[in-house]
Amino acid sequence: MNLGWSQIWGSGVVLFGLVAIKRQNIPVGIEGRPASFYLTGKKAIFVGVIAIFIGLMVFFEIPSSLIRNLDIDKCLDSGGKWDYFNDKCLYEE
């Protein structure tokens, strides 16, 4: 399996979510300065769960070219011809 940018970013966001749930303490503020405030307890767990959900969505993103190739295969398997110019399946009548 080749890892692309979506898998790398998705893994990082999931890791952030797991750390947020474990620590239950998320500093919020501008980078390079002290934190303005901290999300703690249930708020930190909620943000962690949301981060894990978003990370998994990004990780398992299906490239649009793969979806197009599946559509072409389905068309050809059902006896049609694929019109590459208009991206649609043509059936003989």
- The answer to whether the CB of 45 falls within 8 A of the CB of 63 is no
pLDDT at 15: 95
pLDDT at 58: 83
Is residue 35 over pLDDT 60? yes
pLDDT at 46: 95
What does each C-alpha distance from 19 to 2, 27, 34, 71, 86 come to in angstroms?
A: 26, 12, 20, 40, 47
How do residues 47-90 score in pLDDT, each as one tens digit? Answer: 999 999 988 888 887 666 677 888 889 999 998 999 989 888 99
CB atoms within 10 A of CB 10: 21
